[in-house]
């Protein structure tokens, strides 16, 4: 076996008063594919910086074989001092490296090379840094969240590019598909120490759970032994002196071991504060179009979102995913077509850049709104420290400014703020950015159990597969098509034919058929009756009227003194609200049936 190219031994580092790394180890041999996993804040990025030589530990040894080249992709690259992105990437090349590869990689990542680094977005800067890391074909690649800010086509390209390299690799990522495709070894950083498993990421969760269960059994045994020894100390210390001295020393050693044994840091608890039940129809879009500067971003979009749907919106960067999200939630007006929002919607949004978080505010003030020390969740008041613990924040972080939190901690804080508010519609724009794998698992479970509706923009293929009931995909030139199921289902339905002539119309909610596929024989012609046409024309106005009535009744019942002031009026309003909500559900159901029938008739 070849000697390791890079080794880290007994690495120790303390930040503030808390030890972050307590004897961490890492060994990278030729051809290794290591994934470094662990919770947000466990020190993964710090350990990678030590491996790259950009951070000195308090103690421990870093050894790099002479002549070995290392390239490091940080989460927040610094491009200052370079006139263009091409100059920045070329500066990372060594003697004998191919200068043309810099331009090639920038092009593959959607950059021209002529961009001014001073005006780049965070995503563009990371793309340039990724090109700089890959261009020299180094002996060791250290990659910290390489898929952040990449769209799905770019992630697929990166996966293939990394698989083709001969470089040894240490990878930090929340993208399960990428880790499953590339990793051969797992290094788990947990409570300051590292554990290694020479198997791929697909085996990580079972190994982690087995390790934690074994640790829990050992802690239980230690606790029982300590209790027995303390019982002896109270009642049996009068026995032989020499023997007692030794046993007493053993007891002190057990106590030290117990104190030093840092137990499991606790589990993350995610739960969404649920609002009132919305109407069955959440969003209805008909022939919607939106253009910017003459370029169509959304063209002739017709779709429906029903209560309980989990809709994923996917496509390349710049396709208009956030624009579509804003249209469907009524935050942006369409240039043409009609968008109708359902009744009783209580929307909570999580923005992509976490711009709703004030970097100057403390963590506690962000959760409480700067008022008191309590957070109201599901109508119940909770102390902010207890709510912080649910999201793995330590009590001493309460006065920590948001601006100094890590990317993963900001992601968890944004979730904590959003999930505390009552909602029946969650709008999530890139919620998986910077979240660790455990948080992603719990977020998936939360969305699966959520009683409301979810609109989701994400580039995480595994997350889309686990969460979504349907996907709206950007097909190019402003056209968007619905597909049933998750991301993998969409790929299966699209087939090998991607570009279909725009002249072939696609029925809303159904994928466009691949060229050359046999069409199903047409059945007997079916037309809408006069009564059905009339109902289709008049139901929208009836639904609007019912929605207005419901809003008025809910406003009246929101008066806390109404029942005490006039119980009869309170009861009449309650009964009227129940009747109106029943009529609304029936009207929406009938409109939906007729709309589906109309689409079927027009598609013949």
Q: 6-206 with 281-494: one CATH topology?
A: yes
pLDDT, position 253: 59
Q: Which residue has the tokens 């929002």?
A: 341
Structure tokens at 210: 């087995």
> Which of 47, 92, 73, 70 is closest to 145 using CA atoms?
73
CA-atom Rg of the chain in angstroms: 29
Superfamily (CATH H level) for 530-602: Valyl-tRNA synthetase, C-terminal domain (1.10.287.380)
State the DSSP code for 202: G
Instruction: Report the distance separating Cα 73 and Cα 45, nearest Å.
Output: 10
For the chain, residues with pLDDT lower than 70 are: 1, 16-17, 219-277, 352-355, 378-379, 495-526, 596, 599-600, 602-604
| Binding-site positions for ATP | 38-45, 315-322
pLDDT, position 170: 97
Alpha carbon separation from 304 to 23, 90, 149, 339, 481 (Å, rounded) = 55, 49, 28, 10, 12
Say if residues 59 and 12 touch (Cβ distance below 8 Å). Answer: yes
Name the helix (H) or strand (E) containing 590: helix 567-602
Decide: helix, strand or coil at residue 37: strand
| Binding-site positions | 38-45, 315-322
pLDDT, position 239: 46
Instruction: Supply the pTM of this predicted model.
Output: 0.69
pLDDT, position 17: 67
Q: Which residue has the tokens 């009535």?
A: 549
CATH classification code of 6-206:
3.40.50.300
> Which of 447, 393, 433, 400 is closest to 416 using CA atoms?
393
pLDDT, position 59: 95
Q: What is the pLDDT of residues 301-352, one digit of tens each?
A: 999 998 889 999 998 888 889 899 999 999 999 999 999 888 788 888 887 6
Q: Please give the class, per CATH, of domain 281-494.
A: alpha beta
Say if residues 385 and 309 touch (Cβ distance below 8 Å). Answer: no
> Strands, DSSP E only, in 210-255?
none
Instruction: Report the distance separating Cα 187 and Cα 26, nearest Å.
Output: 8
Please report, for the chain, the start and end positions of each structural domain, with discontinuous segments joined by +.
Answer: 6-206, 218-260, 281-494, 530-602
């Amino acid at each position: 076996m070849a000697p390791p190219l890079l080794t880290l031994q007994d690495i120790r580092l303390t930040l503030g008063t808390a030890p972050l790394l307590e004897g961490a180890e890492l060994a990278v041999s030729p051809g290794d594919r290591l994934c470094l996993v662990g919770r947000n804040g466990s020190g993964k990025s710090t350990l990678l910086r030590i491996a790259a030589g950009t951070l000195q530990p308090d103690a421990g040894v870093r050894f790099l074989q002479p002549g070995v080249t290392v390239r490091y992709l940080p989460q927040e690259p610094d491009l200052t001092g370079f006139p263009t992105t091409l100059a920045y990437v070329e500066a990372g090349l060594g003697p004998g490296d191919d200068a043309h590869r810099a331009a090639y990689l920038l092009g593959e990542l959607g950059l021209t090379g002529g961009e001014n680094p001073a005006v780049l977005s965070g995503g563009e800067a990371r793309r340039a840094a990724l090109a700089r890391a890959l261009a020299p074909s180094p002996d060791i690649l250290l990659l910290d969240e390489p898929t952040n800010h990449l769209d799905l086509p770019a992630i697929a390209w990166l996966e293939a590019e990394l698989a083709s390299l001969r470089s040894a690799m240490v990878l930090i990522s929340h993208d399960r598909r990428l880790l499953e495709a590339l990793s051969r070894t797992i290094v788990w950083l947990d409570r300051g120490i590292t554990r290694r498993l020479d198997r791929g990421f697909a085996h990580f969760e079972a190994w982690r759970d087995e390790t934690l269960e074994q640790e829990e059994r050992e802690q239980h045994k230690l606790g029982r032994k300590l209790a027995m020894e303390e019982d002896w100390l109270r009642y049996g210390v009068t026995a032989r002196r020499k023997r007692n001295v030794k046993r007493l020393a053993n007891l002190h050693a057990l106590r030290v071991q117990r104190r030093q044994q840092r137990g499991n840091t606790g589990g993350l608890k995610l739960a969404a504060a649920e609002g009132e039940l919305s109407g069955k129809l959440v969003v209805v879009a008909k022939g919607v179009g939106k253009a910017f500067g003459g370029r169509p971003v959304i063209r002739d979009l017709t779709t429906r979102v029903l209560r309980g749907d989990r809709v994923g919106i996917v496509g390349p960067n710049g396709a208009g995913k956030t624009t579509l999200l804003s249209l469907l939630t009524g935050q942006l007006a369409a240039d043409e077509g009609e968008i109708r929002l359902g009744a009783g919607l209580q929307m909570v949004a999580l923005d992509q850049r976490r711009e709703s978080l004030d970097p100057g505010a403390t963590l506690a003030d962000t959760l409480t709104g700067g008022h008191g020390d309590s957070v109201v969740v599901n109508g119940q008041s909770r102390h902010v420290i207890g709510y912080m613990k649910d999201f793995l924040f330590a009590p001493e972080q309460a006065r920590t400014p948001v601006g100094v939190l890590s990317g993963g901690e900001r992601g968890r804080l944004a979730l904590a703020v959003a999930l505390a508010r009552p909602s029946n519609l969650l709008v999530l724009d890139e919620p998986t950015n910077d979240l660790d794998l455990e948080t992603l698992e719990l977020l998936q479970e939360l969305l699966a159990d959520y009683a409301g509706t979810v609109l989701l923009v994400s580039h995480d293929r595994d997350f889309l597969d686990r969460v979504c009931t349907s996907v709206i995909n950007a097909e190019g030139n402003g056209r968007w098509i619905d597909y049933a199921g998750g991301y993998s289902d969409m790929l299966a339905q699209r087939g090998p034919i991607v570009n279909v002539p725009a002249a072939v119309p696609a029925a809303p909610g159904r994928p466009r058929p691949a060229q050359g596929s046999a069409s199903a024989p047409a059945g007997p012609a079916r037309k809408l009756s006069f009564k059905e046409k009339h109902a289709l024309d008049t139901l929208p106005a009836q639904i609007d009227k019912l929605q207005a009535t419901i809003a008025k009744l809910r406003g009246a019942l929101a008066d806390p003194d109404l029942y005490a002031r006039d119980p009869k009026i309170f009861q009449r309003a309650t009964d009227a609200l129940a009747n109106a909500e029943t009529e609304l559900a029936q009207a929406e159901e009938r409109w939906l049936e007729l709309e589906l029938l109309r689409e079927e008739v027009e598609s013949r």
